[in-house]
Amino acid sequence: MKNRIKGQIILTVGLPGSGKSTYLRRKGIQPLSSDTLRLWLLDDETDQSQQYRVFVALRYLLELRLRLGRKRNYVDATNLTPKERRPYFHLAEKFGYEMCAIYFDVPLATCKRRNRRRKRHVPDEVMERMARRLAPPARAEGFSKIAIVRG
């Protein structure tokens, strides 16, 4: 007998400047956010020096939400590769949640242009490196739903 799905973990997937945080904010969604955790823990949302700890904290908070039975759990981060997304699948399986993604399919040039206007600016060479690593989410990974936002 298949376990009943308790809710969803919804990952944003996209480059910096693709509109992930803006999209969630406009929808009135309060996600677990790697940028917010950097601000809380390091006093600077652009500080990339403690990525491991930031994501350990993010997954810990997500696990707490799952233990509390929260139905919809948004994770606002770039989530560029299947390897980066894998820990969320483990949590989903452990707690009986389905995995969903919102993929921000936005050209690199658009992301760079938006990024230059932001106060938390990512260098162009870093953006290009990230774009080369970006793997769109796929059903084969285990996502039950994938929404695409084009920009």
9-20 pLDDT per residue, tens: 999 999 999 999
DSSP 68-113: TT-SEEEEES---SHHHHHHHHHHHHHHTEEEEEEEEE--HHHHHH
What span, in angstroms and rounded, lies between the C-alpha atoms of 115 and 120?
A: 8
pLDDT of residue 118: 83
DSSP tag of 29: -
90-128 pLDDT per residue, tens: 999 999 999 999 999 999 999 999 998 887 788 889 899
